[in-house]
Chain A
Amino acid sequence: MGNIIETKNLSKSFHDPVEFQALKNINVSIKQGEFAAIVGSSGSGKSTLLYVLSTLDTDYTGHIFFDGDDLSLKSKNDLAEIRNEKIGFVFQFHYLLPEFTVLENVCLPALKLAKYSEAEIRERAYQKLDLLGLRDQALKKANKLSGGQQQRVAIARALINDPKIIFGDEPTGNLDSKNSQNVFEIFKELKEQFNQSIVVVTHDMNFAERTDRIITLSDGEVVSQ
C-alpha cells in the first residue's frame, strides 16, 4: 500500500496583516485506504494544512507529493484537473448549488471530467445516491433538503469521479449528533468497502477517536501522528 499523499518540509506563512507562520516543517503521509483525522485547537493550522494538501492553496514552501506527482510543479489548471479527477471535497457548509436538483449537483464534477456519457454519468450518480440512501430525493432541489441530507449529497458528489482521496473540512461541524454519527458511518463504510482514503479536519474528538489515525497539530507543528 503506497502513500497517496506525502509532504516534505511543508511550511506556510501568512504575510497579512502580520508575518505569521501557519505551518512549520510538516512531514506527514497518508496511505491508500487510510481514514485519518486532523485535530488541533482553533488556530493550530489544521484547516490550512487541509487546504494545502487538497491543492486549493498553492502558497507554500516545501513539497507535496500527490499520487507520486510533485504538486509544486503543477500549474493552476493542472491542479484543477487533479481536484476534478482524484479529489473529493466535503465541507462544513455543504456548498451545493441551491437552484439545482440533487442529481444535477452530484453530476457536476463528472460533467466537467466528461469521461463518461451523460447517460452513464446519471447512472453513476444514482448509484452514489443509492449508497447514501438518497435515491428518492434525486429530483428535488438541493435547497429543499435538510442539513444532514445535504451533507450526504455533498458526499455523493465527492464520490462521483471515484476519487483517490476525500477531504473533509469539518464535515460534521454543522450537524447534530445523529447526523454526525450518520456521516461517520458513511465514511467508515467507504473506507471498509471501497478502500477509500479519507482525511478529515475536525474538532469533534468523539469523531476523531474512531478513525484509524489522529494527526494532532499545535501552532503549525505536528505534535503527534
Chain B
Amino acid sequence: MIQKTPVIRIALTHLLAKKRQTIVAMLGVTFGIAIFIFQAGLMSGFQAYFIDETVNTTANIRIYNEAEKNRKSILAKRDTASNKWIVVQNQKPKDELNKVKNGYQIIAALEKDPRVSGVSPFLGSQAIFKVGIAQIAGRVSGVDIIKENILFDVSKNMRQGDITKLQTIPNGIILGDGLADLLGAKMHDNISITSPLGVTLEMKIVGINHSGLTEVDKSRAYINIRNAQKLLKVDGSYITDINIKLKDFNQAEALAKFYHQKFGFKTVDWKEANASVFSVFKIQNMVTYLIIASILIVSGFGIFNILMMIIYEKMPDIAILKAIGYKDIDIKKIFLTESLIIGVLGGLLGLIIGFLMQKIVGSIRMDIKGFVSMEYLRFNTSPGFYLFAYIFGLVATSIAGYIPARKAAKMDAIDIIRSK
C-alpha cells in the first residue's frame, strides 16, 4: 500500500490523474521507437545484406597490375640533364601486358600466409556471347573454380548445374542467370564467345549462377582459366588478378598495403573497391537517423507538454511536499520518474510494434530486382539493435522530462501558498 519511497506512488498518481494525455505522450514514444525499429532496421538490414553480398562477390583484397600511364619518354629517362627540353608528342601507352608476373609463385606464397583463408587466380576479358543471332557483350571470368568457390561461395548461388563441371568438361561455361535470360540460353546449350582479339571458342553451358547483384548476373560468365588464356592468346602462367580472402575481412585495408609493398603490384581492398556504395550508405543513414531523431523530438515535446500540465495542476502538492521536508531533488525525482514511466512503457510497446512491423513486412514477398535482388526485405533484428533503439528512446524522454522536473524542483513553496 505505502511504499518506502512515495516518489513512485506520487508519480503514478499524477499520470493516472491524466490518463488520456499520458497515453498520448506514451504513444508518441511508441511511434518513435516503432519507426526507429522499422526504418533503421530496414536500412541496416539492407546494408548488412548488401555488404554480405559484396564481401561475397568482391575479393577482400585484389592484387593486379596496371598499365603505366603518362610514363616518361625513353629520351627523358636517358637524358636527365636539366638544361634540355624534351618533347615527345603523340606518345602511345607501352604495349605491355597487364600481367601479374610470377602470379602462381605469389599465390603459393600467399597460401602459406596464416591470415589468408583462400587465394584465387583470375584472368578476365571482355567477350561477345553469341547464341545464333543473339549477341550480348559481357565479361568472362577465367578462374580456377575450386579456388574461386572458396572465396566467393559460387556453389551456393548455383541455380542449375554444378561448379565442378567447369573442371571436368573442357569447354564448360557457367552463365549468370540474367545473361542466360538475355541470350535465351538454357542448360546444356552450346554458345560461342569471342574475345577482343578475335578468338572464338565454342562453349557448353554447364551451370546457371545467381549472385544477387543484378548488374553482375546480367554480364558475367565463368570459364576455366585455361580457356580464358586461349581467348587472349597468352601462355599458361598469364593471370591479371589475384583475389585473396582473409580470415578477418576487417584487416583488408592494412594487409592490402602490406602486400603492395611486398609484391610491388597494385592492391585494392573491398572497402576501397566499393567506396561509392559506402558513401551512399552514409547519406542513407544520415537521412534515416534525422527522420528518427525528429520523430523522437516530437514525442519529447509530448512528454514535456504533459509534465508541464501536471506540474501546474499539482503545484499545491509540490508546495506541501516541500513544506513537510521533501527536498528539491525529491521533487525532481517525482517528475523524472513520470517521464521515465512514459518512456519505459511507451518504448517497450514501440519495440513490440516495431518487431511486428518487421515480421509482417518481412513476410511479404517483394522480388526486388535493382541494385541487388532479393525476394523478401531484410531487417536488422539483432537484440543489440533493439537495445540501442530503446536506450535512444529513453535518453530522449529523460531529456524531455528533465526540463519540467527541474522547473518543479525550483518552484518556491511560499509563492504557491501565497497565490492560493
Contact = CB atoms under 8 A, between A and B. Distances in A.
Given A51-B414, A91-B417, A95-B316, A122 B323 contact: no
A107 B328 contact: no
Interface of A is mostly: helix
Interface string B318-332: 011111111111100
B77 interface: no
Given A107-B2, A112-B330, A93 B324 contact: no
Interface string A161-172: 000000001000
B412 to A, nearest CB: 9
B325 A80 contact: yes
Contacts of B372: none
B272 to A, nearest CB: 60
B1 interface: yes
B324 A108 contact: yes
B320 A97 contact: yes
B10 interface: yes
Interface string A18-55: 00000000000000000000000000000100010010
A204 interface: no
Contacts of A54: 323
A93 B316 contact: yes
A167 B327 CA distance: 19
B363 to A, nearest CB: 46
Contacts of B16: 99
B22 to A, nearest CB: 14
A104 B326 contact: no
B417 A169 contact: yes
Contacts of B327: 76-77, 80-81
B105 interface: no
B1 A104 contact: yes
Interface residues of A, number: 37
A111 B324 contact: no
B280 interface: no
A91 B325 CA distance: 15
Contact of A111 (B4, B322, B420): B4
B23 interface: no
B420 A93 contact: yes
Interface string B11-37: 001001100000000000000000000
A104 B2 contact: yes
B64 to A, nearest CB: 72
A91 B419 CA distance: 13
18 contacts: A51-B414, A56-B413, A83-B323, A83-B324, A89-B320, A89-B324, A91-B417, A95-B316, A95-B319, A96-B320, A99-B13, A99-B16, A107-B2, A108-B6, A111-B3, A111-B5, A112-B330, A157-B324
Given A84-B326, A95-B323, A114-B4, 5 more contacts: A85-B325, A99-B16, A100-B9, A111-B3, A113-B325
Q: Lowest 8 A-B CB distances belong to which pairs?
A: A84-B325, A95-B320, A109-B324, A80-B327, A83-B325, A99-B13, A89-B323, A51-B414
